[in-house]
Copies of this chain bind each other. A is one copy, B any other.
């Protein structure tokens, strides 16, 4: 995440400007453009209340191709009805016209305050300079512009080889609050020049999203605007990967998306620590997920971690109310590798003191074994702090 690093992917251009959407004059409008049509797919919010850009992008991406993505901050363009849909469409139309592509080849993403109409005039005025600035090195600027309450831009970059050709994967993301693992949980854009077909890309992308972005939580709230899009433009010129080659690409893709989702949890609004909940020994996958999420979303567990208190009673209580199959006397809990609960009971004061000491770290892993079955889950979250309140009590004012 260095401003001066070259995060380029052959065939992709990026750009960002200040269009006057953010009150503080920061960059707030970004554009991603592929020099030729790219294979594309996405995952979207499961919230019944979907923002206009989500509805439009879901429609456009059905064709399996995209050329560009325009992203604005400041306005979510959610809960804006017919006018909102018109505004999202107009944004796509205006940018497609100037890029000399079809409007259906554009994706639109928005993030910001819900319920206010998108000032399309401001976007229209900013478009010429946005397009003029398009550059292979414009992606740090894109990651920077799409931030809202994020404290740092989120970028993950990697390279690999497939069938003898080098390819790159660039992942960009934003999202720090209203994050809940229930389908796409913020904005993220993954760009790669690998040559791949949609039939191969779709399942590995969905599975990667399920195991990365859908395994983080900040506050249990799911946004109306979440989307994760991937574009693959084939500039690498490789033979389409299969078997082991495809597996390798999948592994790189998942790592990129895993890095981004970890950054989002770590940058949870007001967070001082990332918390990794490792849940083992559940009787079913569903119960493993419910149990891990209940612990991850418990305000009492999250404040205890903020206070560096190995308060395992709150973990037990969260497990108990999750409604899963468990036997209190079978539960084991470790904090940062120190076993503090055995057979549902405290191990000892010394272990708690050692665990408290280790909780001074920035990443805290809480490992739970229910000893009821063989299913497991892993969810990443963050602590709950004074600054979460500060950010969210004052966000609109």
Chain A positions near chain B (C-beta within 8 angstroms): 46-50, 76, 78-81, 113-116, 177-178, 180, 182, 219-224, 297-300, 303-304, 306-307, 309, 311-314, 316-321, 323-324, 326, 328-329, 341, 343-346, 384-386, 388-390, 392-397
The interface residues of chain B lying within 8 Å CB-to-CB of A224 are 313, 316-317, 320
Using Cβ atoms and an 8 Å threshold, which residues of chain B touch A328? 48-49, 79, 81
A304 to B389, CA, bound (A): 9
Q: Is the CB of B78 within 8 A of A221?
A: no
Q: A300-B178, A313-B115 are in contact. Are A392 and B307 (CB under 8 A)?
A: yes
User: Which residues from B are CB-within-8-Å of A180?
Assistant: 321
B314 touches A114 (CB 8 A): yes
| Given contacts A309-B396, A311-B396, A344-B81, A389 and B317 within 8 Å (CB-CB) | no
Question: Cβ of A314: which chain B residues have Cβ within 8 Å of it?
Answer: 114, 221
Q: Which residues of B contact A341 (CB under 8 A)?
A: 79
**Within the complex, which residue of B222, B303, B388, B394 is in contact with A321, where a contact is CB–CB below 8 Å?**
B222
| Chain B nearest Cβ from A326, distance in angstroms | 6
Name A300's contact: one of B46, B323, B392 (CB within 8 Å): B392
Contact A320 B48, beta carbon cutoff 8 Å: yes
Q: Inside 8 A of A386's CB, which chain B residues have their CB?
A: 386, 389-390
A-B CB proximity, top 8 nearest: A114-B313, A49-B320, A307-B393, A303-B392, A222-B321, A47-B320, A48-B320, A115-B313
Cα distance, A330 to B310, chains bound together (Å):
46
A386 to B385, CA, bound (A): 8
CB distance B304 to A392 under 8 Å? yes
| Nearest-Cβ distance from residue A240 to partner chain B, whole angstroms | 38
Distance, CA A48 to CA B396, complexed state (A): 40
Besides the contacts A47-B317, A78-B313, A224-B317, what 13 more A-B pairs have beta carbons closer than 8 Å?
Answer: A47-B320, A47-B321, A49-B326, A76-B313, A79-B341, A114-B313, A178-B317, A299-B388, A303-B389, A304-B393, A309-B394, A384-B389, A388-B389
